[in-house]
Structure formats: structure tokens, C-alpha cells
């Protein structure tokens, strides 16, 4: 996976994909949705449990 941000599309569809096309994450109403590559389980991380989410530095 590359960290080249120009390879990522804008947040139009709320999905983030790697340069290879593999889905990395989806932004859902209640949080960030991730899929485990090994067991294929889907885990939703609530926005409230992510430190710094939604905070603005002034």
C-alpha cells in the first residue's frame, strides 16, 4: 500500500481504496467500517471512540 494521497479519490462515495483497488475503509453513519482481510468480519469503529475525530486545531 502506498501513502501517495493523489491515488485516492475524493470523499465523494465515502470509500477509501488502495492504489491496487482494494477497499480499505468506508465512512458510515455511526462510524468507520473496516473489513478484516483474514476472517472477512466487518468491524465498525464508532466515531466517538476515535481520538481527535471532529476536533479542529485553532
Q: How confident is the model at residue 1 (pLDDT cuts 50, 70, 90)?
A: very low
Q: Please state, in angstroms and rounded to a whole number, the distance separating the CA atoms of residues 10 and 16.
A: 9
Q: Is residue 23 part of a domain?
A: yes
Looking at the 3D structure of the chain, how many domains does it have? Answer: 1
pLDDT in tens, 38-58: 898 999 999 888 887 665 555
Q: Is residue 55 part of a domain?
A: no
Q: Please state, in angstroms and rounded to a whole number, the distance separating the CA atoms of residues 39 and 7.
A: 27
Which range of residues forms the domain containing residue 35?
Answer: 5-49
Q: How confident is the model at residue 13 (pLDDT cuts 50, 70, 90)?
A: low
SS3 percent helix, strand, coil of the chain, rounded to 5, is 10, 30, 60
Amino acid at each position: 500500500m502506498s501513502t501517495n494521497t493523489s491515488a485516492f479519490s475524493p470523499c465523494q462515495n465515502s470509500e477509501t481504496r488502495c492504489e491496487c483497488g482494494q477497499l480499505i475503509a468506508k465512512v458510515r453513519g455511526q462510524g468507520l467500517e473496516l473489513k478484516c482481510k483474514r476472517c472477512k468480519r466487518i468491524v465498525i469503529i464508532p466515531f466517538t471512540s476515535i481520538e481527535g475525530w471532529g476536533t479542529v486545531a485553532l
